Chain A
Amino acid sequence: MKNPLNPDLSLAGSCIVMDAVAINKAIRRIAHEIVEQHPSAANVVLAGIPTRGTEIARRLADHIEQIEGRRPYLGSVDVSMHRDDLATRSRITTLQETNLPMDLDGRPLVLVDDVFFTGRTCRAALDAITSFGRPSTIRLAVLIDRGHRELPIRADYVGKNLPTSLNEKIRVRLEPLDGIPDSVSIVTAP
């Protein structure tokens, strides 16, 4: 039996924990928190981690523009070339372009990703960002925090805390990228 919201998953093994409305509310709340903590929110650089982090960053930028009247800088950071596990992977996915402003020095940066798990992607992203410049602050915004950190890194803005076990997977689907309505679901490995 197919799940209509998530055709690539059978209904038996998956459970939807956020729908499009809940995702939109969470992103809007994070936008408000970013505006609250950054006196000049339009000066902020939002850096999404491809592919879904970039889409969430774009939505955050839309909300911040509505709140503040000015749009923050929207960029992206592909962290693959900064990861420390190249030799242990068996296949390589095509790299996405990294796009950050040249004048990163002294500007506040918010790193955006969909699922926060071991913290290793974030560590690689911090490394990537330092090769571009020295932001005044770097904060982390994530849609889902599923726990199981392997590094001393924490998120500053969290859409939803979702305690998981290691044999579960979090599937984030965003309509512009996946062609099906927005959703977050937990998939249990058989």
Chain B
Amino acid sequence: MSTWNKKDLVGLDALTAEEITHLLDTAMAFKGVGERNLKKVPALRGKTLVNFFVEPSTRTRTSFEIAAMRLSADVVNITATASSLQKGETLKDTALNLQALRADIIVLRHSSPGSSNFLSERLNSSIINAGDGAHEHPTQGLLDIFTIREKFGRIEGLNVAIIGDILFSRVARSNIFGLLKLGANVTLVGPSTLVPKRFEKLGVKVRHHIDDILESADVVNLLRIQHERQRKEYFPGLGEYISLFGLTKLRAARLSPSCLIMHPGPINRGVEIDSDVADSSQSVILDQVTNGIAVRMAVLYSCAGGAGIPA
């Protein structure tokens, strides 16, 4: 039986394989809570969780909110427009104010890479990274890995292809770190502007043609094309992208029948994934959403108990 003794979750890069396995196993137990009549346990009763989202997000914030409520914590949501960051206060000062308001856990989404790490070193509250720039999105990585492990019973030796805009993707980085630690073979697929060769230093393969990986993949994880982050020089244009990297019906037919199709959402139907493929029986996109709650419960529970959050 493994143990956990950290107060924060900043990224999967900083965790050992044993710590990742602890979170996945604990999430299994919490998944059971979501299937009971009474979907609530008292573990975080009396604790306050602040969802501090400086970048827009609906599903991650809602998922954390549901997870916290199932653990009986009180939840406060702060969004960028409502926050005093707009009035010129620094991130650290805002966070210190949250701590002074006795926030036990702060779930942070911020556009700057390293912002979660910065706060975790300066605050006594638990800091959970819900996405920091293009750095990491550890709970998304964990829920992807949890979903794969649930379907295959293991991670070791599986061929996982991550397709799309890797350069700007924190989801891809958390997946890469976590999957490699647990022994998967990871291949990144996309145009050379968005999937540079230098990613191979992390221990993954890089391919620039989706057709190279279709037959051998156990999992294809399609990332959303982040229109809001694209610049002309990086992105080839929608039509070209679809014809080169889109998971069309024709391409999906070449996947092994046991291959899982994943997507962190929100999906762009007809862009990175064909509408029919997204709804096919191989698609586990909605399982990912359900599993996200269990994984986040495991993270909140472990971090709240791992280092004794201040009373």
Contacts and interface: CB of A to CB of B under 8 A. Distances in A.
A81 B301 contact: yes
B309 A92 contact: no
Interface in B13-61: 22, 25-26, 28-30, 32-33, 36-38, 40-45, 47
Given A81-B30, A87-B311, A95 B4 contact: no
Given A84-B42, A86-B304, A95 B37 contact: no
Given A82-B42, A86-B304, A87-B311, A92 B33 contact: no
Interface in A101-130: 127-128, 130
Contact of A131 (B30, B38, B43): B38
Interface string A14-25: 000000000000
A94 B25 contact: yes
Contacts, number: 86
A96 B29 contact: yes
Most buried by B among A51, A78, A92: A92
Contact of A81 (B3, B22, B29, B47): B29
A130 B44 CA distance: 18
B22, B32, B311 interface centre (most CB from chain A within 10 Å): B32
Interface string A57-98: 000000000000000000000101111101111111111111
A147 interface: no
Nearest to B28: A97
Contacts of A130: 38
A133 interface: yes
Interface of A: 51, 78, 80-84, 86-99, 127-128, 130-133
28 contacts: A51-B1, A80-B43, A81-B30, A81-B33, A81-B42, A81-B71, A84-B45, A86-B43, A87-B305, A87-B308, A87-B309, A89-B308, A90-B308, A91-B3, A91-B5, A92-B22, A92-B26, A92-B301, A92-B302, A92-B306, A93-B1, A93-B4, A94-B1, A94-B22, A95-B25, A95-B26, A98-B29, A131-B38
Given A78-B29, A92-B22, 6 more contacts: A91-B305, A95-B26, A95-B301, A97-B32, A131-B36, A132-B36
Interface of B: 1-5, 22, 25-26, 28-30, 32-33, 36-38, 40-45, 47, 71, 298, 301-302, 304-309, 311
